[in-house]
Structure 1
Amino acid sequence: MKSNEWEVIKAAKEAGIPDPGFEIDKNTAIVITDPQNDFLRSDGVAWPIVKESVKENNTIENMSQVFKLAQENGIKVFISPHYFFPTDKGWKFGGALEKFMHSKEMYMRKGRLNMEGFENSGADFLDEFKQYLEKDNIILCNPHKIYGPQNSDLSLQLRKYKVQKVLMAGMSTNLCLESHTRQLLEEGFEVAVIADASGSAKLPGLDTFKGALMNLRMITSHIFTTEEFKEALNEAKL
């Protein structure tokens, strides 16, 4: 992650904004949003607008590290994917990036019960992550439909597993990750973010990762790097 983006963290500290901290324990889980090809593979439909952020953050390598560390430490990972089905094409209105996603057929699948063409598609998971996805610590949730988890079973699954604390990672920082974070906070979960295991759109005059980092520093308990997350596991009460 570029140093000027971490200046957001430094500025918040200098402004006297508390950093409550986040202790990893047996009631902690990881939530990863949209670890899918349309964001993270070079032929993905969103790659042209996120690639700079993903490369600066080493997002793919860091997400892989988060999966690996979670597996090694027995931490549950809840994956919140994004899928669109043919029935969703009937939506009569939508915001700017909804229009973008639908026009590009981002995350498109043939149907809820139809896996034809799913493998290696934009909706499929990045190959680098697949070695972790069938492990016992992985819970694949129902898809969210726009940005937040309100229409999925994520909160239900977290509560069924007695999770109280959540570490967020995944794509993209200013949209699905931030929306999930805000909703989980409102539902009473303690939330922190592994920021460089994420990335988002970066265009001339528009650095959405930096903007999201400002918001996340204000509302979460702590912002980790992947390396700091690894170090915190040494003191975790698991």
Structure 2
Amino acid sequence: MSKPNYSKQTTALLFVDPYNDFLSEGGKVWNRIKPIAEEVGLIDNLKAIDGAVRDAGIRVFIAPHRRWEPGDYEDWAHPSPTQLAIVDRHSFARGEWGGEWHPDFAPKHGDVVAKEHWGQSGFANTDLDQQLRQRGITHLIIVGLLANTCIESTARYGMELGYHVTLVRDATAAFTHEMMHAAHELNGPTFAHSILTTAELLDALPATSVKEEANK
């Protein structure tokens, strides 16, 4: 894997699906990922990364899943198993708490929120690629959920489009250890340019503006 070089002009943090249903106590999916999320320190790591990239002047992009509404998939010819599960449990429902942003990861001024993706890739049938390219982004640090579905699909698609892709092992989670293992040990190395821990990523980020001023 190539040595990462995260220029603040060309790097983006891409946060996938930062919804209450995934990341908050009481969320419809949180209990399924909670054991692994707590084991890897997911919330604290996401907070650390979010703060560090902003301090470094790196732009934040959000790739949100479709907020469920009645009738979304019922007459589709080929809804995926995940989409059928969304129909059953109403994950990320529009207008409900579960479909709102986790309060620590809600978009801030200057963040870019791409159009909602219907499946698992943040790029498929959205404007994410255009939003990134128009801002000169070439390197993506991808965090969020789930490791073996939306993160993997988005990262694979990004690689195919020519982006440098970084996965962060402990800034994501999945339903099982086997899924996490597949995401980072089996599948990730076939498409990701870098697979780091949160600590390794923070060490690789450019100096913050405060540090830059202190060194002048």
Whether these two folds match at TM > 0.5 is: yes
Q: 1:152 to 1:217 in 2, by over 3 A?
A: same
Q: Which residue of 2 aligns with 1:128?
A: 104
Structure 2 counterpart SS, 1:70:
helix
Identify the residue that residue 10 of structure 2 maps to in structure 1: 27
Superposition pairs of residues 46-85 of structure 1, within 5 angstroms: 46-82=29-65, 83-85=67-69
Unaligned runs of 5+ in 2: none
| Closer/same/farther in 2, CA of residues 67 and 235 from structure 1, 3 Å limit | closer
| Correspondence 1:88-167 to 2 at 5 A | 88-92=72-76, 93-109=78-94, 117-118=95-96, 121-130=97-106, 133-136=107-110, 138-148=111-121, 149-167=123-141
- What residue number does 2:164 align with? 190
Letter in 2 for 1:126: H
Identity %: 26
**Structure 1 residues 146-225: aligned runs within 5 Å:** 146-148=119-121, 149-202=123-176, 207-214=178-185, 215-225=187-197
Give secondary structure in 2 for the equivalent of 1:31.
strand
* CA distance in structure 1 between the partners assigned to 2:42 and 2:175 by the alignment: 13
CA contact (8 A) 2:14 2:62 kept: yes
Quote the Cα distance in structure 2 between the aligned partners of 1:232 and 1:135: 25
Superposed displacement of residue 86, structure 1: 2.9
> What is the DSSP-based 3-state SS (H/G/I as helix, E as strand, rest coil) of the residue aligned with 1:151?
coil
* Aligned-partner SS, 1:50: helix
CA gap 1:87/1:162 in 2 versus in 1, 3 angstroms: farther
Q: Is the 8 A contact 1:84 1:145 kept in 2?
A: no
Q: CA deviation at 1:102?
A: 1.5
Q: Structure 2: which amino acid aligns with 1:227?
A: A
CA RMSD in angstroms, aligned pairs only: 1.8
Deviation, 1:218, is 2.5
Matched residue, 1:112: none
Q: Is the 8 A contact 2:16 2:64 kept in 1?
A: yes
1:232 aligns with 2:204: yes
TM-score (norm: length of structure 2): 0.88
* TM-score, normalised by the number of residues in structure 1: 0.80
Name stretches of at least 5 consecutive residues in structure 1 with no aligned partner.
Answer: 1-18, 110-116
